Amino acid sequence: MYKGVKERLCCIVTALCLFFSVSGTALADGEEVPTERLEAGEDAAWTLHELGLMSGMSQEADGTPNFGLELSVDRASAVTMLVRVLGGEKEAKAMNYLHPFQDSTGWMSPYVGYAYAHGITSGTSTPGSTVMTFSPTAPLTANEFLTWILRALGYVNVDWRDPRPLADQVGLAYPEGEGYYRADMAVTALSALDCAAADGTVLRKRLIESGAIPVSSLTPDVTGGATDPFGPVDPFDPAEDTGASNAAYPGASGFTPGPAAPYTAEVTLASLADLPTALAGAARGHAERIRVRLPGGDGSALALSLADEAEVITDMCDAVSLTVLETGADTVDVGVSYSDAARVMALTESRLASPDQETVALYNAAVRALLSAALPGDDTFSVVLGIHDYILEHSTYGAPFADAGNAAGPLLSGGGDSEGYARAFRLLCYMAGIDCVLIRGAVLAPTGILEDRTWNKVCVDGAWYNVDLSSDDTGIAKYNYFLVSDAAIATDHIPNPDRPLWPNAPWDYAVG
């Protein structure tokens, strides 16, 4: 299982201190560090070194560490080193988190994306700007570093323009003068050891309990030479990066974020009866525009049939609406709009020309959910079970959440209706490389009334099964509607009839 976000934050101070031990691209400032700040930084650095949390950038001729205290760091190098010492480099490269910053491409993109996805940085763009920036070559400032630490400690709504009042309240130390150097960062990191995280825990105690700081290292007779609890960290070398791909989950394998041409499809019908299946099949490829051709037919009749069959077609794919764009002699061009989950799928397929921030946020939320729900390489049953349990544990069914009928409801807002649950389940299965579809119909409520319901069918070990997360959501993860047959779910579920792309589920899944 991948290490969770909470576990990473539990060792955040260790990570922040190790931040100064990694060599990277550093910028020497034109002005010298004030003597008193350099001396304070040296004292802090040696204290961290004696705790085994700071080993220096290099060694002097006499074997003592060189902490590089007079140097400053650009934002790209800073976030890269921070991600590495947080233990997130493999995750950053494997999952290839998206971010909206157009000035942070190439080798730095996975690291910036990781920090963006985990809420450590939100960039440097002005509100309302159409061009999002991270400013990778700009020097890291005191306010930025304080903001990063406070966010990593779990504090929300940190005022990045002036985080110092909250830093004062929490107990973080920082310089009053101009500039911000490694000496200042050492002082800030050392002060963080005795700061309380947002949940009220004292970080020094948490670090001792986690084994990051040995209890004996806090006694007066401590000497230097403690080993790095996370092991050696290699110096950063941009030449090592040849591009990241999401190898962890087949659904996004080889995915490189960036604009792509919209996907256009064309289908040819043998008869009007083939319209629902053919159009739904093309929409499952997330085409934004589909040309439907009926040789020898009438384009106007095609358009009328499309209107009559629109609900059937959208039931069988991820489309939410169809629009006739153009009618020809024997053709009709159809514009397709998709659910939020389908836009993420189109993005990973390089079929979405201009991803919006909502799509980026949902992609990252889906990746985070998979990291928590399942281990890449697990058998399909275990991954599907993990996804099922993750959604139920992190969502509330039926409440009036924002985006309740979309995947963003359960994955970003904390809850939703049956359609939101089903879309979230399908998206996570897709990202894990598992076939899954939405099933629409009705369920017989305890009151005896039929209510609209959306659920899923998922393919496990070559066979299809029904999964209804909303029926399983009773406060504790239940499995009455998990991997069941059509016959079993038919006791109270009625799928909409005549949906030819829906697969059959002839039996219940046999566990064991």
Q: What is the pLDDT along the chain (512 residues), one digit of tens a residue?
A: 222 333 444 445 555 555 555 444 444 445 688 888 999 988 988 887 777 666 667 778 777 888 888 888 788 877 776 666 455 677 788 777 888 887 888 888 888 888 888 788 888 877 666 678 889 999 888 888 888 888 877 788 888 889 999 999 988 888 887 888 888 878 887 887 788 878 887 767 766 765 655 665 443 332 222 222 222 222 223 333 333 333 444 333 334 444 455 678 898 998 888 889 898 888 888 888 999 999 988 889 889 988 888 899 989 888 899 999 999 999 999 999 999 999 998 888 777 766 777 888 898 889 888 888 876 668 899 999 999 999 999 998 886 777 889 999 999 988 899 999 999 999 999 988 899 999 999 999 888 899 999 999 999 999 999 999 999 997 777 899 999 999 999 999 999 988 888 999 999 998 75
383 Cβ contact list (under 8 Å, min separation 6): 373, 374, 432, 434
Q: How many CA atoms are closer than 13 Å to the CA of 68, on its beta-carbon side? A: 22
| pLDDT at residue 453, as a whole number | 95
Pairing between β-strand 58-59 and β-strand 71-73 as defined by DSSP bridges? unpaired
Q: Which residues of 382-418 are buried (b: 16+ CB within 10 A; e: fewer)?
A: ebbbbbbbbbbeebebeeebebbbbbbbbbbbebbbb
Cβ atoms of 303 and 327 within 8 Å: the answer is: yes
| pLDDT at residue 244, as a whole number | 32
Separation CA 189–CA 172 (nearest Å): 8
| pLDDT at residue 210, as a whole number | 57
| pLDDT at residue 476, as a whole number | 76
Retrieve residue 439's tokens: 């099933």
Inter-helix orientation angle 109-117/357-373, to 10°: 80
Pairing between β-strand 396-397 and β-strand 415-416 as defined by DSSP bridges? parallel
Residue recorded with tokens 């119909």: 441
Separation CA 69–CA 175 (nearest Å): 14
| pLDDT at residue 91, as a whole number | 76
| pLDDT at residue 479, as a whole number | 92
| pLDDT at residue 407, as a whole number | 94
| DSSP class of 288 | S
Cβ atoms of 332 and 237 within 8 Å: the answer is: no
Pairing between β-strand 289-293 and β-strand 436-444 as defined by DSSP bridges? unpaired
Cβ atoms of 101 and 76 within 8 Å: the answer is: no
Query: What amino acid is encoded at 460 in this protein?
Result: V
| pLDDT at residue 299, as a whole number | 87
Name the 3-class secondary structure at 254: coil
Cβ atoms of 339 and 419 within 8 Å: the answer is: no
| pLDDT at residue 223, as a whole number | 28
Cβ atoms of 485 and 507 within 8 Å: the answer is: yes
Pairing between β-strand 264-268 and β-strand 289-293 as defined by DSSP bridges? parallel
| pLDDT at residue 478, as a whole number | 87
Task: List Cα–Cα distances, 354 to 265, 287, 351, 452, in angstroms.
Answer: 18, 14, 9, 33
Phi-psi region of 388 (alpha: psi -120 to 50; beta: other; left: phi over 0): alpha
Separation CA 509–CA 463 (nearest Å): 9
Task: List Cα–Cα distances, 386 to 41, 102, 178, 331, 341, in angstroms.
Answer: 46, 34, 50, 45, 19
| pLDDT at residue 376, as a whole number | 63
